[in-house]
Chain A
């Protein structure tokens, strides 16, 4: 306690030098919290959107299905029977059938995925309810990214060509009945949704599906003939992207932190050189060397405490303001292919705040301690004279 009291007095007494160090360190602290908060906010938002629009709470895949290999679609389909059919009726899973196709919007040729989805499903947020039969026409649903790239609008007809289960090409016009907007580009770009029953009929894959999307109640229940993929697996790409972003931001804020810590280190070295008489006096007055080392270490690490206080003073209002309005993301951001909304609302978890505080305090303590080791080698008589070079 004594060391804290003395260190605080010494720090405040040092004036401008202290406040410069504290300001730089507080800036590093606020930037670290902000960066992490932004990425955590994006992570939470992205995961939640991806689950709501694409992955549900896990999926049951046909054993041959590989989402990175479109050729696997040819064989990766099976009839939804038994337990799977029962769960479908209970709305605990919803089947999705996928086939490769070519669309010809305004005479141009475009490779697409035709996805069959039950118009009555409630598990995914895709507005499949708009896929109602339209006078014998096949209703289709596309996302706004797809609509923008193909210039298709609601009410437009577009020719699609696909291969059925036997490999025979067939083609038909479909009617765009709805254009939906989603933060998840992977369910939108180059994808056309049609009623499941229509796609099953078009491909000759009666009652078949490529995978089954589960709601939250199934809890990893086994379904014979289907392989369960949990959210961790399904969100792997998203998590990897966030990790990459975190890696990049870590470099920036570690650089900032290093500059602040270097300033503290420099101050400590200078302090110990300039305050030799003071150190000698402490020893003469009855302090042990280890106690003097502790005093100087606490003094250095207290920069971090003051930085946390100062950072909180301007950082909290700033972050509340940012949380109110969100961080607008450029339109091109969703070209990255992962879920990203127009505005990111940062999220500051207690764990992140505590770990950032610990990072700042511990690193400041370490850089404060190293220069003080010199004190243990000082002769008090030389220190009192200020003779040590």
Chain B
């Protein structure tokens, strides 16, 4: 599988106006990500991890510099083009799952596909396949309120993966989970990364997650402190796709 460069960050700076002062969340960041990476942005709170993820996900724009995602310059995209990029090419996994509470598990996972052009039968097949990946096919008709935290995060992974995106951005995916669930979740994602060659980028400061990462980028005060390749990262053990 050819692991080409799919994200390029060039001299990226992000500043926020906070009252009369500016807060610089990212300072002159230069990075590239290749297809199939399993990478973590690691650092303390306020280091700029989530800001970088948001810019890569085209949810936010850089103040200076540029982020080129799958050949698209994020700062030059219109709202509509950003939406298309996210809908077809980027999956999101949130710390608080962000599942739609009035929908069933099936509906939540199907949601991303509703915005694309698939037939009902195709959607049905893709959703059930995604739920199979995360081991929740039997909970398809449950509501999020009936699931545990770990199960909710697995639904969130299925929702991110169902459209087979090139990139998945996961913001503290294990922060609300216990150790066992954290391992299970990260193993599931690692498996998907291997099988589907999807690029995963995490924002995390969870040691359990870090064990599985192939590359760890340390951020501090909006700067890259270290960018490490992890040759002996853990692999998935028992999760089957």
Contact = CB atoms under 8 A, between A and B. Distances in A.
Contacts of A5: 114
A90 to B, nearest CB: 73
Contact of B112 (A12, A14, A285, A289): A285
B59 A278 contact: no
B86 A289 contact: no
A37 interface: no
9 contacts: A10-B102, A12-B102, A284-B59, A285-B112, A286-B83, A287-B115, A288-B80, A290-B79, A380-B59
Nearest to A288: B83
Is the interface on chain B under 10, 10 to 19, 20 to 34, or 35 or more residues?
20 to 34
Contacts, number: 63
A287 B59 CA distance: 12
Given A281-B100, A286-B115, A9 B107 contact: yes
B72 interface: no
A315 B60 CA distance: 51
B202 to A, nearest CB: 16
A224 interface: no
B96 A286 contact: no
Interface in B69-96: 79-80, 83-84, 86-88, 92, 94, 96
Contacts of B102: 9-10, 12-14
Interface of A: 2, 5-6, 9-10, 12-14, 277-278, 280-281, 283-291, 379-381, 384
B85 to A, nearest CB: 8
Nearest to A383: B59
Contacts of A277: 96, 98
Nearest to A280: B98
A84 B88 CA distance: 85
- Most chain B CB inside 10 Å of its own CB: which residue of A2, A6, A286: A286
B40 interface: no
Contacts of B88: 286
Interface of B: 54, 57, 59-60, 79-80, 83-84, 86-88, 92, 94, 96, 98, 100-103, 107, 111-112, 114-115, 159
Contacts of A2: 114-115
A285 B86 contact: yes
A348 to B, nearest CB: 36
B87 to A, nearest CB: 2
Contact of A285 (B79, B107, B111): B111
A75 B114 CA distance: 82
Contacts of A13: 101-103
A280 B92 CA distance: 11
B115 A285 contact: yes
A288 B81 CA distance: 9
A9 B84 contact: no
Nearest to B81: A288
A5 B86 CA distance: 22
A288 B86 CA distance: 10
A288 B79 contact: yes
A9 B111 CA distance: 12
A384 B79 contact: no
Contacts of B111: 285
B60 A379 contact: yes
A196 B72 CA distance: 96
A197 B146 CA distance: 93
Nearest to A2: B114
Contact of B100 (A12, A278, A286, A291): A278
B220 to A, nearest CB: 21
Contacts of A381: 54, 59-60
- Most chain B CB inside 10 Å of its own CB: which residue of A281, A290, A381: A281
